[in-house]
Amino acid sequence: MAILEGKKLLITGVLTADSLAYGVAELAQREGAEVVLTSFGRPMRLTERTARKLDPVPDVLELDVTNADHLQAVQAELKERWGRVDGALHAIGFAPETCLGDDFMAPDWDDVATAVQISAYSLRSLADVVSPLMTEGGSLVGLTFDATVSWPAYNWMGVAKAALESLNRYLARELGSQQIRSNLVAAGPMKTIAAKSIPGFAAFEDEWQKRAPLGWDVTNSEGVSKACVALLSDWFPQTTGSIVHVDGGYHTIGA
């Protein structure tokens, strides 16, 4: 039996077939899950076009995580459609241009607040949507980029990811009594649209490929997909509040 047989999953963050979330959605379907995707605004057409590459083609629900009406509508739709939710993938991140690049001191609070709300607080927003529907327990899985150290150019997105990693631990504590797990997968750099928006990110890719003990292929997200699907399954029933590194072992190497 496939490890996600019968599971109902909400998947955020699919833009193109190169998106990490797309790989998770594709593998989740192969492992027996029924999935629904989310998007909003101008990218929604791109998500809908990408969704047609999946089999079966999933529906795409409108969800801006900063919009309370969207959050309520998605919850109502999932309740009517499935009655319950078994898991959700948080693959949401955004920071204004001033928050990335060479000048850490450049952004004002409004820009930083946007980065933190969309990239970190949105995990709590997603939990608000799905946790009441996880009547048989469930699994929240989010994507992060190792925030235990500072990175060139990543700047305030790194701060937002640190907030995300802390929030993951607090959600694990808060939701554990409902048998809802919350974990993150810290992926190494991949060639995605999100990565292209970060100035100098190509240097991360080059460094990873040189130094990761297991090697690293910036075009192959299979390891990330497998880790997320495993955490969404019942194979880690006692694991919560954790960060699973899928980076070829790079996080173990000192400067």
- Residue 41 lies inside a defined structural domain of this protein: yes
- Residue 255 lies inside a defined structural domain of this protein: no
Beta bridge partners of 11: 37, 89
Q: What CATH number does the domain containing 228 carry?
A: 3.40.50.720
Beta-carbon contacts of 229 under 8 Å, excluding residues fewer than 6 positions away, are: 3, 4, 24, 27, 28, 31
Beta-carbon contacts of 204 under 8 Å, excluding residues fewer than 6 positions away, are: 151, 189
Residues spanned by the domain of 125: 8-247
Q: What is the pLDDT of residue 250?
A: 95
- Residue 3 lies inside a defined structural domain of this protein: no
- Considering 154, 196, 226, 250, which one is annotated as catalytic? 154
- Residue 252 lies inside a defined structural domain of this protein: no
- The interaxial angle of helices 109-116 and 155-175, nearest 10 deg, is 40
- Residue 149 lies inside a defined structural domain of this protein: yes
> CA-based Rg of the chain, rounded to a whole angstrom?
17
Task: Please work out, in degrees rounded to the nearest 5, the angle formed at the alpha carbon of residue 39 by the alpha carbons of 181 and 233.
Answer: 25
Read off the amino acid at residue 64.
D
- Residue 231 lies inside a defined structural domain of this protein: yes
Beta-carbon contacts of 163 under 8 Å, excluding residues fewer than 6 positions away, are: 116, 119, 120, 121
- The total domain count for the chain is 1
Known catalytic residue at 121: no
Inter-CA distances, 146 with 107, 173, 174, 252, Å = 22, 21, 23, 11
- Residue 74 lies inside a defined structural domain of this protein: yes
Ranges under pLDDT 50 in the chain: none
- Residue 1 lies inside a defined structural domain of this protein: no
Q: What is the pLDDT of residue 22?
A: 98
- Considering 7, 8, 22, 161, which one is annotated as catalytic? 161
Q: Give dist(CA 240, CA 83) in Å, integer.
A: 24
Known catalytic residue at 170: no
pTM over 0.75: yes
Tens-digit pLDDT profile for residues 118-150: 999 999 999 999 999 999 999 999 999 999 999
Q: Which helix (H) or strand (E) holds 187?
A: strand 180-187
Q: Which helix (H) or strand (E) holds 87?
A: strand 87-90
Q: What is the pLDDT of residue 255?
A: 64
- Residue among 40, 46, 44, 38 nearest 21 (CA): 38
Q: Which residue has the tokens 């029933």?
A: 237
